Amino acid sequence: MELALEILPQVLLDGLVLGFMYALIALGYTMVYGVLEFINFAHSEIFVLGAFVGVEVLLWLQDAGHLAVLHPGFVLLLVIVAGMAISGLAAMALERVAYRPLRGSPRLVALISAIGASFFLQDGLRLFESLWRNTFYLNYPTLDVLDQTLPLASNLVVPVKSLLVIATALLSLAGLHFFVNRTRVGAAIRAVAQDPETASLMGIPVNRVIALTFFVGGAMGGLAGVLFGLHYSLVNPYSGFAPGIKAFTAAVLGGIGNIPGAMLGGMVLGLLEAFAGSYLSILTDGAFGAEYKDVFAFVVLIAILIFRPKGLLGETVREGRA
């Protein structure tokens, strides 16, 4: 038991880092569901694309000899902005090419298109990196500042990269919340989510608002990708699968279409996973190890959805305030 308490702060920290990552990715699923009522299964590849943009920018800076000279804060900002912009644009392009022409056809058709787009992006990245670098397993160059730690207490050592994830995620989640709830364009997104026909009769350009929603959701996914790469270092074109499925689950857990729900769902899932990873073997005396963490997390999830089928906060984009 002593050990259990001893590691608690560290487990919480790991859970938060994971949770914010899932929350950022989950936003992309939930925002697109909000406006189109459809699951963009290629979103996990938009996330990976962000991670690859991040590593490419860093490698480029390194090869050019800038990485050691430039201020690390500037480098991080550059990497994050590039990852967000390119992922956002890619999500917009995806909508234009793979989803918009299918609007109005049965939802299953768009879903198949999303799965196809997902394969296309995965293998496109693989092809590109294979030709460009002869390998599609890439390592983030180390940034010294990220590898430093802050020893806050004897049992809590906070890596700077964890702080980076938490601070960046908090900032962008707050920014997104402000954008969606306090700006004219944000109100237009909520209007389209509730009723696209009425929104168009009010003069809201529905297609442009949907494209913008993809951009914002994609940018959040790209940000998560960059943070994922900075935190865990290794990326490959298939890295998106597990985080993508989990973030999608987080979105459902929070109530699909519901923006605060996605944040909450991501956090719950991240913490569950971190707790299970560290405590399962302690609590079961070694019968179940950390490898059961996903099983445990999903069992809890299923239990929650049995009692709250619409998720923790419900599908409130359509029914309540987002």
Q: Which of 184, 285, 286, 306 forms a contact with other proteins (CB under 8 A)? A: 184
The b/e string for 287-298 (b: 16+ C-beta within 10 A; e otherwise) is ebeeebbbebbb
Determine contact, residues 250/75, Cβ cutoff 8 Å: no
Residue 212 makes contact with other proteins by CB under 8 A? no
Choose between 10 and 194: whose C-beta lies nearer to other proteins: 194
Please give the structure tokens belonging to residue 308: 């709250």
Do residues 211 and 15 lie in contact, with contact meaning Cβ atoms separated by under 8 Å? no
Nearest to 53 by CA among 204, 184, 302, 235: 235
Kindly state the smallest distance separating residue 110's Cβ from other proteins, in Å.
21
Q: How far is the CB of 213 from other proteins (least distance, A)?
A: 16
- Closer residue to other proteins (CB): 95 or 273: 95
What the block records as the tokens of 88 is: 């956002």
Least distance from other proteins to the Cβ atom of residue 193, Å: 8
Contacts to other proteins from residues 262-321, by CB under 8 A? 316-321
Please return the burial class of 81, using the count of CB atoms within 10 Å of its CB with bins 0-12, 13-18 and 19+.
middle
- 202 scored as a contact of other proteins (CB under 8 A): yes
The nearer residue to other proteins, 190 or 293, going by C-beta atoms, is 190
As a whole number of angstroms, the distance between CA 84 and CA 206 comes to 23
The residue from 24, 180, 191, 227 that contacts other proteins (CB under 8 A) is 191
Least CB distance to other proteins at residue 75 (A): 39
DSSP secondary structure string for all residues of 117-159: HHHHHHHHHHHHHHHHHS-S-EEPPP-HHHH-EEEEETTEEEE
Tokens of 82: 């590039």
Confirm if 193 and 181 have CB atoms less than 8 A apart: no
* Smallest separation, CB 117 to other proteins (Å): 26
2 vs 197, beta carbon nearer other proteins: 197
- Give the shortest CB-27-to-other proteins separation in angstroms: 18
Number of residues that bind other proteins (CB under 8 A): 25
What is the rounded CA–CA span in Å between residue 42 and residue 64?
33
- Please report whether residue 210 would count as binding other proteins according to CB under 8 A: no
CA 164 – CA 227 distance, rounded (Å): 8
The window from 183-191, 218-226, 231-239, 246-254 that contacts other proteins (CB under 8 A) reads 183-191
**At its nearest, how many Å lie between other proteins and the CB of residue 206?**
7
Closer Cβ to other proteins, 196 or 229, answer by number: 196
Return the residue of 200, 233, 236, 281 that touches other proteins, per CB under 8 A: 200
Q: Does the footprint of other proteins cover residue 258 (CB under 8 A)?
A: no
Question: Quick one: tokens of 302?
Answer: 């299923």
Three-state SS sequence of 264-283: HHHHHHHHHHHHHHHHHHHH
Applying CB under 8 A, among 70, 174, 187, 234 the residue interacting with other proteins is: 187
Look at the block and give the residue holding tokens 């279409």: 257
Residue range at the interface with other proteins (CB under 8 A); choices 12-20, 71-79, 167-175, 188-196: 188-196
Question: Does position 322 bind other proteins by CB under 8 A?
Answer: yes
Q: Which residues bind other proteins (CB under 8 A)?
A: 184, 187-188, 190-191, 194-195, 197-207, 316-322
